[in-house]
Amino acid sequence: MGVEDGEPLDEKTKRMRDLLSSFYSPDLPSASLRSNASFSRFATLDTINATSFDANHYMNLLVQKANLEELLKKHVEMASEIKNLDTDLQMLVYENYNKFISATDAIKRMKNNINGMEAKMEQLTEKMMSVQSRSDGVNTSLLAKREHVEKLHCTRNLLRKVQFIYDLPTRLEKCIKSEAYADAVKFYTGAMPIFKAYGNSSFQDCKRASEEAVGIIVKNLQGKVFSDSESIKARAEAVMLLNQLNFPVETLKLKLFEKLEQFLLDLHLEYKDLKDASADVIELPSQGNVNVSASAAAHEASIHEFAEALHAYRVIFLHSEPQLFKLAQDLVMKEFEAAHQQIKKQLCSADLLAIIRVIWTDVLLLDEVLPGAALPDFTLQAALIAVKDYITCALSHLLLDISDAFSKIQVMQKEGTEEVHPLQTAFEASKKAVIQGSMDVLLDFHHLLNENSELLLKLRVFTMEWVQEGFQDFFRKVHDYFLLLCGKSNSASQDRNMIEGVPGDKVPAGLVLVVAQLCHFIENSAIPRITEEIASSFSGGGIRGFEYGPAFVPAEICCTFRADGQMFLHLYLKMRTQRIAVILKKRFTTPNWVKHKEPREVHMFVDLLLQEFEAIGAEAKQILPQGLHHKHHRTDSNGSATSSRSSTLRDSRMSRSNTQKARSQLLEAHLAKLFKQKMEIFTKTENTQESVITTIVKLSLKSLQELVRLQTFNRSGFQQIQLDIQFLKSTLKDIAEDEAAVDFLLDEVIEATTERCLDPVPLEPPILDRLVNAKLTKTSE
Amino acid sequence: MYRDFTPAGFWLCLKESKRQPLMNMKMNFVTESVLVRPLRGINEICSSALFVAVGSTPPHLTLFDGLGLLERFLCSLYVVPCWVAIGASGIKKLLTFSESDHTFSCRCSAMQGGSTGVGYGLKYQARCISDVKADTDHTSFLTGTLSLKEENEVHLIRLSSGGTELICEGLFSHPNEIWDLASCPFDQRIFSTVFSSGESYGAAIWQIPELYGQLNSPQLERIASLDAHSSKIKCVLWWPTGRHDKLVSIDEQNLFLWSIDTSKKTAQVQSQQSAGMLHYLSGGAWDAHDVNAVALTCESSVQLWDLRTMKTTNSIQHAHVRNVDYDTKNKYMLVTAEDESGIHIWDLRKPKFPVSELPGHSHWTWTVKCNPEYEGLILSAGTDSAVNLWLVPPSSDDSALDSLLESPTRRVDPLLHSYTDYEDSVYDLAWSSREPWIFASLSYDGRVVVESIKPHHPKK
């Protein structure tokens, strides 16, 4: 170990130390990164172990800091440390050398051991070869014997099978006797492949015998399947076995199914009987009850039976549900069909409820048996339709009742039945038909709601909805019917079957008035009552979306009927004035007015006119209410000034006697007109006797005026008109209400005649009075 | 038109039409008059002079026209302290009467809520007015009076360019009372009248003399007399669309087709056919689309005639049709007015049922006229002293009509406007073909009112 003193040694030691420390301490390199300068500046005496140790600097530091004693002490310390380090180093080197030597030794020994191995391996291969050849020899010598043994074993099995087949018939018979059909089937099916392969040759007899046996088995099994007394499980097993025997189960199934269907048909018939019986109840309550209970019991029994049969079938034939569902639905359908037929016969809600109740119990029964069929839902759907049908049916019957009331009037009028107030009775009848009919119907519907059965509870909301819708529709139809009745609707699109035999054009005027008043009645009495009733019992449907609003809109109906009422009233006025216009027209177009003779009496057209007025008055009095105001009454008057004016005029006129000079009367009339405001003749017609009559009188007088204006008169013609008008003046007072307007119109007629007269010289008042009085006494007689 | 007793006096209403009573009163009261004075101030509003008489016995006041020329003035008067006159044009004119010097001052104010039309007063009662189609420069109307005893007149009225005034362009005396008047569609100076005197009826074609402007009351020139008729003549029809040398005249039993030559002033019967004894014809209309088609109204039906064969081709069985008009915009469309207050619209291809129905008037619907330009606009006039303007929605197919009928609540009211400011029955009206939004109506009291439908028609 060349250890030297002084600087070289230091150098070497340091290198060594670095080397070692680089070996043992991984964190030194990071320390060595520090800059020397900073290190030296801050170095203390402890930095002697650092990598960047600067000896000179250290020495200077040491010399500066320490005194001599410390230096000496340091020196001694240092020398001993150096010595220690030296020995450590020596030891390290030595150990490394030692290791190297031992490694060399090991390598030398390995080299020697490898040399003998190859020869030994060759020996081993040789031995293995010989072992194999020997084993092959043993194998070949044993092969023949082993094959023989195997053949023998096969034969034995075959023989056993043959034995089994020969025994099969007897075995099967035994099984038949003990009714162990399952075993028998197992045996037979086991033997089947053999029979199939050899059945025509060796085992002919055997096959025949066993087939016979199987035939018996099949028969027995079939019997078992069809017999209702066997347990369902046994029957199901039997079917399974038959299936295994390749027996055509489908036909069996079909047969059974047919049986079920047949059953259903029979049941249906019975059901019909029940319905008839229940229908009988209405007519013969005392007798019917027994009938009903008996047939109801029978019905229940048969439904039970059917349910059981269904159940059995379902268990016996798996996967048969769809068919059964259909069957069950058919049943329900049929029941509802029967119900529909009943509904068409106009049964009351109690009967409908009874029917629905019966159906529901049936359905519940079936549902137990066939839970998957969703029968309740199906029934619900069907019941929905039934109830809806019922409601529409009930309402259409109501409509028929109303139309009956009307056709009665027509028949009555055609036959000329003598009745004091035919229109009044008709009106009362139709009123009753509307209000009583709809109340009855509502009451009937009410029963539907009060029923607590599960089915109907579900239907409740729908029922409400339909009742509302139904009434809406009903009133629309009534409206249509009225239109049709009065010949107002334009034909083609309407269904005419409802009112066959009603010729649209020939409707009597009185009937139109009845319809008008009935519209008024519906608007004012019937609708509010029905609305109230519906609101109290049938509100809260809520199926319809909010955007559609409620199904029953009384305001809309009221509006329609108000318009209808007005329209029919106008139609009545029109029909009546048309007749009067014909009379007047004839009067004015027939004679030659320019060559008219002197008036001798009041012309008879006045009688006709008054007759018409009387007829109208009679009609109006039967149907229309009396007006509240019995005196001059105008709805559309133009202000108070007018009415005060016309009343004073009338007073002054009334105070004058007829004996006043006609000429001055005429003049006065002209003068009065000068001061008079334009007379409102065509005011709104109200729904009262007075208003209607007055309107007709006014329209007629206006027509008279217009007709006069179209003619040219001579003096006599003028006087004739003057006479007629004078007579009318005295008579119309009793007929028409609005005296002022009537007087005005009569004056207008006179004026028009004057204008159209070639020589307007009025009749002398005494003559006028005499002629009028003569006519008055004549008519009073 | 107001009258009321007030402390200061009373309102007095005088109607233009009441000339007859006016005359009577004059006879009656003029001797008792305390005061008779010409109303000087009144010249500001009308051209004729007026006298007023204030009597001591009732009535206190009466008004009459001194010259019988009360044409364009009309009136309601208010005695003391002021007079209100309502001009025929609808402008309320307030006349203030000064007692000291008996003069009037005039103030105009708009009339409240009253008539908007332009008015014109005829001297006598009248039934017929016709649009002068051939006059393309002006909106003119011809109208004739119906007076049994007085001398009748034909007025040629022209709407001033501003549309605010009706000007009398010509005043011609006519020998008899005029029951029907039709202007020639291709010559503005030619027109036809149907007239009567007592029992006799006649029809003639007239020509307005060229220098009429200079004469006060010039004579009309009679081009031709349609004198082949044996019974009461109802009307004379010109083909509405243009120059056509034929003319149709209708009397109660017969239909005549005349061949007219206006230059040679001849009229010859080309053919004639009886409608049958039982059908009393009352009027008719000539199809603007078909020169050979004429519709005649009789008591129980509307007959459609072919002028080539002079035979009925078709008929609408509907009673009491008073007036008929072809829709000038739609071929095959016919509008009828019924006696008993209804208007029906027919498709001639489906004559069984009307296409639609309008309520008409409170009393008889006397006449209907389709607008020559705007589709579905119909005017009707009736004896309830009203003129109604209708708009019929174009419902060509039946389904639309059905839906219309089925929903009465949603039905649109076809009545656009009702002109009710008439004193008497309105017997005739005429659309102006030059300005199709203008029509003239004539009430029996001789008042012509020209109105514009513009304020009432939604589209125009």
Q: What's the pLDDT at B91?
A: 32
Sign of the dihedral through C-alpha A607, A609, A610, A611: positive
A93 Cβ under 8 Å from any chain B Cβ:
no
A320 is a domain residue: yes
Q: What is the DSSP string of A223-287?
A: HHHH-TTS-HHHHHHHHHHHHHTT--HHHHHHHHHHHHHHHHHHHHHHHHHHHHHHHHHHH-HHH
User: Given pLDDT bands bounded at 50, 70 and 90, which one contains residue B74?
Assistant: very low
**Within 10 Å of residue A610's Cβ, how many Cβ atoms?**
18
Chain A nearest-CA residue for B342: A574
Task: Please check the confidence at residue A198 and state whether its pLDDT lies above 80.
Answer: no
A28 shares its domain with A58? yes
* Least-confidence region, from A494-498, A509-513, A615-619: A494-498
d(CA B276, CA B296): 13
| Of A362 and A86, the one with more pLDDT | A86
Q: What is the mean pLDDT of residues A547-566?
A: 75
Q: Which of A81, A105, A129 is the last residue of a domain?
A: A105
Q: What's the pLDDT at B116?
A: 66
Q: What's the pLDDT at A296?
A: 63
A514 shares its domain with A603? no
Q: What is the mean pLDDT of residues A535-562?
A: 67
Task: Please check the confidence at residue B361 and state whether its pLDDT lies above 80.
Answer: yes
Q: Which chain A residues have a beta carbon less than 8 Å from that of B59? A: 671, 674-675
Q: What is the mean pLDDT of residues B413-435?
A: 86
Domain range holding A561? 391-566
Chain B nearest-CA residue for A573: B340
B11 shares its domain with B102? yes
A571 is a domain residue: no
Task: Please check the confidence at residue A474 and state whether its pLDDT lies above 90.
Answer: no
| Of B80 and A412, the one with more pLDDT | A412
* Total domain count, chain B: 2
| Of A232 and B438, the one with more pLDDT | B438
d(CA A55, CA A9): 12
Q: In this predicted model, what pLDDT tens digit does every residue of A662-714 receive, in sequence order?
A: 444 544 554 455 445 555 667 777 777 888 888 888 888 888 888 888 888 88
Query: How many CA within 13 A on the CB side of residue B378?
Result: 33
- Greatest mean pLDDT among A512-516, A646-650, B52-56 lies in A512-516
B267 is a domain residue: yes
- The Cα of B225 is separated from the nearest Cα of chain A by a number of Å equal to 23
d(CA B348, CA B331): 9
- Domain containing residue B382: CATH number: 2.130.10.10
Q: In this predicted model, what pLDDT tens digit does every residue of A158-170 receive, in sequence order?
A: 888 888 877 877 8
The identity of residue A500, as a single letter, is E
Q: Do B196 and A712 touch (CB under 8 A)?
A: yes
User: Given pLDDT bands bounded at 50, 70 and 90, which one contains residue A453?
Assistant: low
B12 Cβ under 8 Å from any chain A Cβ:
yes
A572 is a domain residue: no
A676 Cβ under 8 Å from any chain B Cβ:
yes
Task: Please check the confidence at residue A448 and state whether its pLDDT lies above 50.
Answer: yes
Q: Do A758 and B25 touch (CB under 8 A)?
A: no
d(CA B239, CA B259): 12
User: Given pLDDT bands bounded at 50, 70 and 90, which one contains residue B56?
Assistant: very low
B264 shares its domain with B389? yes
Task: Please check the confidence at residue A480 and state whether its pLDDT lies above 50.
Answer: yes
Q: Which chain A residues have a beta carbon less than 8 Å from that of B405? A: 489-490
Q: What's the pLDDT at A223?
A: 77
Q: Count A/B contacts: CB-CB distance under 8 Å.
A: 92
Helix (H, G, I), strand (E, B) or coil at B439: strand
* Least-confidence region, from A252-256, B14-18, B26-30, B256-260: B26-30
Q: What's the pLDDT at A266?
A: 67
At which residue do the structure tokens 């019974």 appear? B231
User: Given pLDDT bands bounded at 50, 70 and 90, which one contains residue A319?
Assistant: low
Q: What's the pLDDT at A87?
A: 92
B347 shares its domain with B425? yes
Among candidates B354, B405, B423 on the partner chain, residue whose Cβ is nearest the Cβ of A678 = B423
The identity of residue B263, as a single letter, is S
Q: What is the mean pLDDT of residues B72-81?
A: 33
B260 shares its domain with B369? yes
B229 shares its domain with B338? yes
Q: In this predicted model, what pLDDT tens digit does every residue of B82-121 receive, in sequence order?
A: 333 333 333 333 333 334 433 333 333 333 334 567 888 8
B300 Cβ under 8 Å from any chain A Cβ:
no
Among candidates B4, B198, B383 on the partner chain, residue whose Cβ is nearest the Cβ of A594 = B198
Give the contacts of B74 (CB within 8 A, at least 6 positions apart).
B14, B15, B16, B85, B86, B87, B88, B119, B121, B447
A665 shares its domain with A774? yes
Q: Do B353 and A491 touch (CB under 8 A)?
A: yes
ipTM: 0.74
Q: Which chain B residues have a beta carbon less than 8 Å from that of A673? A: 18, 21
User: Given pLDDT bands bounded at 50, 70 and 90, which one contains residue A202?
Assistant: low
Q: What's the pLDDT at B194?
A: 92
Residue B280: closest CA among B240, B245, B252: B252
Q: What is the DSSP string of B127-164?
A: EEEEE-TT--SS-EEEEEE--SSSPEEEEEEEE-TTSS
d(CA A409, CA B406): 28
B38 shares its domain with B168? no
For residue B256, the surrounding DSSP H or E stretch is strand B254-261
Q: In this predicted model, what pLDDT tens digit does every residue of A10-35 receive, in sequence order?
A: 676 777 777 666 666 554 444 444 44
B34 is a domain residue: yes
User: Given pLDDT bands bounded at 50, 70 and 90, which one contains residue A568?
Assistant: confident
Backbone angles phi, psi at B416, to 5 degrees: -80, -45
B199 Cβ under 8 Å from any chain A Cβ:
yes
User: Given pLDDT bands bounded at 50, 70 and 90, which one contains residue B192?
Assistant: very high
A724 shares its domain with A633? yes
B460 is a domain residue: no
B65 shares its domain with B189? no
- The Cα of A595 is separated from the nearest Cα of chain B by a number of Å equal to 9
Q: Do B341 and A574 touch (CB under 8 A)?
A: yes
User: Given pLDDT bands bounded at 50, 70 and 90, which one contains residue B421?
Assistant: confident
A519 shares its domain with A397? yes
B458 is a domain residue: no
Q: What is the mean pLDDT of residues B151-155?
A: 87
Q: What's the pLDDT at B44?
A: 33
Residue A508: closest CA among A413, A623, A402: A413
Q: What's the pLDDT at B182?
A: 92
Task: Please check the confidence at residue A39 and state whether its pLDDT lies above 50.
Answer: no
Contact (Cβ atoms closer than 8 angstroms) between residue B48 and residue B121 = no
B106 shares its domain with B212? no
The encoded tokens of residue A54 equal 């600067």
A308 shares its domain with A408? no
Strands (DSSP E) found in A99-164: none
Q: Which of B61, B85, B110 is the last residue of a domain?
A: B110
Q: What is the mean pLDDT of residues B279-294?
A: 86
- The Cα of A673 is separated from the nearest Cα of chain B by a number of Å equal to 9
Percentage of chain A modeled with pLDDT above 90: 3
Task: Please check the confidence at residue B390 and state whether its pLDDT lies above 70.
Answer: yes
Residue B19: closest CA among A479, A133, A673, A123: A673
Chain B nearest-CA residue for A567: B359
A549 is a domain residue: yes
d(CA B269, CA B250): 12
B148 shares its domain with B291? yes
B426 is a domain residue: yes
A41 shares its domain with A181? no
* Least-confidence region, from A121-130, A164-173, A630-639, B67-76: B67-76
Q: What is the mean pLDDT of residues A322-348?
A: 73
Helix (H, G, I), strand (E, B) or coil at B367: strand
Q: What is the mean pLDDT of residues A89-118?
A: 86
Cα–Cα separations (whole angstroms), residue A446 to A72, A200, A392, A393, A463: 131, 80, 15, 16, 10
To probe the interface with A, which of B3, B5, B231 has the most A CB atoms within 10 Å? B3
Q: Please give the DSSP secondary-structure letter assigned to residue A712.
A: -
Task: Please check the confidence at residue A111 and state whether its pLDDT lies above 90.
Answer: no
Backbone angles phi, psi at A260, to 5 degrees: -60, -45
* Total domain count, chain A: 5
* Least-confidence region, from A51-60, A290-299, A649-658: A649-658
- In Å, the largest CA–CA distance within chain A is 189
Q: What's the pLDDT at B61?
A: 39
Task: Please check the confidence at residue A403 and state whether its pLDDT lies above 70.
Answer: yes
**Chain B contacts in chain A segment 558-597 (CB below 8 A):** 559-560, 563, 574, 577-578, 581, 592, 594-595
Q: What is the DSSP string of A434-447?
A: HHHHHHHHHHHHHH
| Of A675 and A475, the one with more pLDDT | A475
Task: Please check the confidence at residue B178 and state whether its pLDDT lies above 80.
Answer: yes
User: Given pLDDT bands bounded at 50, 70 and 90, which one contains residue B181?
Assistant: very high
User: Given pLDDT bands bounded at 50, 70 and 90, which one contains residue A86?
Assistant: very high
Q: Which chain B residues have a beta carbon less than 8 Å from that of A681? A: 384
Q: Which of B50, B76, B110 is the last residue of a domain?
A: B110
Q: Do A758 and B21 touch (CB under 8 A)?
A: no
B299 is a domain residue: yes
Task: Please check the confidence at residue A491 and state whether its pLDDT lies above 60.
Answer: no
**Chain A contacts in chain B segment 122-141 (CB below 8 A):** 125
**Chain A contacts in chain B segment 313-372 (CB below 8 A):** 320, 339-342, 353-354, 362-364
B398 is a domain residue: yes
Helix-then-strand count for chain A, H and E: 26, 0
The encoded tokens of residue A140 equal 């070949």
Q: Do B408 and A703 touch (CB under 8 A)?
A: no
B229 shares its domain with B357? yes
Q: What's the pLDDT at A260?
A: 72
A411 shares its domain with A536? yes
- For all residues of chain A together, what is the average pLDDT? 73
d(CA B172, CA B181): 14
Give the contacts of A706 (CB within 8 A, at least 6 positions apart).
B363, B364, B383, B425
Region of residue B163 (phi > 0: left; psi between -120 and 50: alpha; otherwise: beta): left
A135 is a domain residue: no
Q: What is the mean pLDDT of residues A317-340?
A: 73
Q: What's the pLDDT at B147?
A: 83
d(CA B84, CA B78): 5
Q: Which chain A residues have a beta carbon less than 8 Å from that of B353? A: 490-491
A274 shares its domain with A222? no
Q: What's the pLDDT at A456?
A: 67
Q: What's the pLDDT at A55?
A: 80
To probe the interface with B, which of A559, A568, A671, A711 has the most B CB atoms within 10 Å? A671
Domain range holding B13? 5-110
- For all residues of chain B together, what is the average pLDDT? 71
Q: Which of B58, B86, B110 is the last residue of a domain?
A: B110
At which residue do the structure tokens 């029992």 appear? B199
As a whole number of Å, the end-to-end CA separation of chain B is 33
B88 shares its domain with B214? no
Q: What's the pLDDT at A23?
A: 62
A455 shares its domain with A473? yes
A463 shares its domain with A342? no
B459 is a domain residue: no
B403 shares its domain with B269? yes
Q: Do B18 and A699 touch (CB under 8 A)?
A: no
A775 shares its domain with A647? yes
Q: Which chain A residues have a beta carbon less than 8 Å from that of B444? A: 709
Q: What's the pLDDT at A46?
A: 63
* Least-confidence region, from A328-337, A611-620, A762-771, B279-288: A328-337
d(CA B206, CA A539): 76
Dihedral, CA atoms, A447, A448, A454, A458, nearest 10 degrees? -140
3-class SS letters over B180-213: EEEECCCCCCEEEEEEEECCEEEEEEEECCCCCC
